[in-house]
Amino acid sequence: MGRKRYSVHLSPFAAGPDRDALFVKDGFAWGAFAFGPLWALFHRLWGPAAGMVAAMAALAAAEALLPLPPDAALPLWLGLSLVFGFEGNDWRREGLAARGFVERGPASGADLAEAELRWFAGAK
């Protein structure tokens, strides 16, 4: 399997370069795709969570008010979930930056554990 890339974010209150590091995967966020607003709330992304709920409410209202065929709703909901999945990790990076986390660079590995080991081995 290929290597996965992560961006490394350090807390402004960290005691050292090996403390309070968060790794955010590049690419699709399966949690955001599957759980939407719950995933955003778990990651303390209040704005994106509110936006997700608003988008879901708008889609539900459109589905209720417009004479859509029954088969039309599923692709719309799937499309909305795909948007959440593709944007989720970018929203997470923006949320960390807003909370003062500093992006320190990329890390890569076969999985998260290997990426962490490789990054911490080179961290000073």
Distance, CA of 80 to CA of 52 (rounded, Å): 9
Rounded average pLDDT over 60-86: 90
Q: Hey, is 103 helix, strand or coil?
A: strand
Q: Are residues 85 and 35 in contact, defined by beta-carbon separation less than 8 angstroms?
A: no
Whole-structure pTM value:
0.86
Distance, CA of 62 to CA of 54 (rounded, Å): 12
User: Which residue carries 């409410």 as its tokens?
Assistant: 57
Q: Which sequence spans correspond to the domains of the chain?
A: 4-122
15 is written with which tokens? 């005691």
DSSP 16: S
Identity of the residue numbered 44: R
What is the reported pLDDT for 18?
64
pLDDT confidence tier of residue 20, bands split at 50, 70 and 90: confident
Mean pLDDT rounded to a whole number for the chain: 91
- The percentage of the chain sitting over the pLDDT mark of 70, rounded to a whole number, equals 93
Distance, CA of 29 to CA of 17 (rounded, Å): 26
| 23-67: pLDDT as tens digits | 999 999 999 999 999 999 999 999 999 999 999 999 999 888 988
What is the reported pLDDT for 124?
43
